């Protein structure tokens, strides 16, 4: 048979399960969001690096044409350094691992791999374009910036590389926004479940506790006014109230017997 304590414990456990579910889901989503700022930052930085590489290669081409060898060596090293950071970041975005957070590659952060198949596929497109661009940049450097065809290929595919990187950034942005929407949906569902538990608990308290107590109070009031013929209905609900109804019935019967004895003596 159900008891008031058991009913209270069930309501408490239901709320505890709800809070646990909210905590676990929030923790998991927050864990997934932890690296979003890093990923969005370095993926956006790739757009800047792609343009920086082209600019530095063209500066080298101009310096080579003007026989400024000392400056050429400096800018060539700069271009190679930027290419190294760009490629290391690209690998980290796709496969995960250590990613440089500064252009000098003196500081690194752990980067998770691509979280969706769509982002991974898009990064593979960027890789395919980058390998061809990089090969032509290498041809340009090897030729001491005299290979016009290689230079033209780099210039012609510059915007294509930038566009594919931009698409990657958008996909990563959408993925981050999806996590925020998912958390909001979980919280909304949790609120609705919590409200449902409260409404159900109120209904059960009214039906199983408040209404029976109100009935017992009215019956006890009638008994105090001398109405002892009305048998108290036994509660089939909570154990404590069932015992109370039986006790009141025994009290009613005992009172009737005592009054009958008193009446018989008076006669």
245 located within any domain: no
93 located within any domain: yes
200 located within any domain: no
Q: Tens digits of per-residue pLDDT, 75-126?
A: 999 999 999 999 999 999 999 889 988 888 888 888 888 888 999 999 999 9
Instruction: Look at the chain and report how many structural domains it folds into.
Output: 1
Mean pLDDT (the chain, rounded): 84
143 located within any domain: yes
CATH code of the domain covering residue 48: 1.20.120
218 located within any domain: no
Distance CA 56, CA 35 (A): 31
Distance CA 244, CA 38 (A): 65
> DSSP H helical segments within 66-157, as ranges?
69-95, 117-142, 148-156
98 located within any domain: yes
Residue 236 has pLDDT above 70, yes or no: no
35 located within any domain: yes
167 located within any domain: yes
Domain extent for 149: 30-183
Tell me, yes or no, if the pTM score tops 0.85: no
């Amino acid at each position: 048979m159900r008891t008031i304590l058991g009913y209270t414990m069930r309501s408490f456990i239901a709320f505890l399960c709800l809070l646990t579910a909210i905590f676990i889901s929030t923790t998991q989503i927050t864990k997934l969001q932890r690296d979003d700022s890093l990923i969005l930052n370095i993926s956006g930085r790739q757009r800047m690096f792609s343009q920086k590489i082209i600019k530095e290669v063209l500066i080298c081409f101009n310096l080579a044409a003007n026989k400024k060898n000392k400056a050429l060596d400096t800018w060539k090293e700069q271009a190679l350094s930027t290419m190294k950071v760009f490629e290391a970041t690209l690998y980290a975005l796709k496969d995960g691992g250590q990613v440089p957070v500064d252009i000098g590659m003196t500081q690194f952060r752990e980067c998770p791999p691509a979280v969706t198949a769509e982002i991974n596929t898009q990064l593979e497109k960027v890789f395919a374009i980058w390998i061809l661009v990089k090969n032509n940049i290498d041809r340009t450097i090897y030729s001491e910036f005299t290979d016009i065809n290689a230079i033209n290929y780099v210039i012609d595919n510059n915007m294509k590389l930038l566009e594919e990187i931009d698409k990657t950034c958008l996909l990563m942005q959408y993925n981050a926004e999806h996590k925020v929407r998912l958390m909001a949906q979980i919280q909304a569902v949790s609120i609705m479940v919590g409200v449902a538990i409260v409404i159900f608990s109120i209904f059960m308290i009214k039906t199983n506790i408040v209404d029976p107590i109100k009935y017992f109070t009215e019956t006890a009031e009638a008994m105090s006014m001398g109405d002892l013929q009305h048998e108290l209905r036994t509660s089939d609900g909570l154990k404590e109230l069932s015992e109370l109804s039986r006790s009141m019935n025994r009290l009613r019967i005992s009172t009737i017997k005592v009054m009958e004895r008193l009446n018989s003596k008076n006669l």
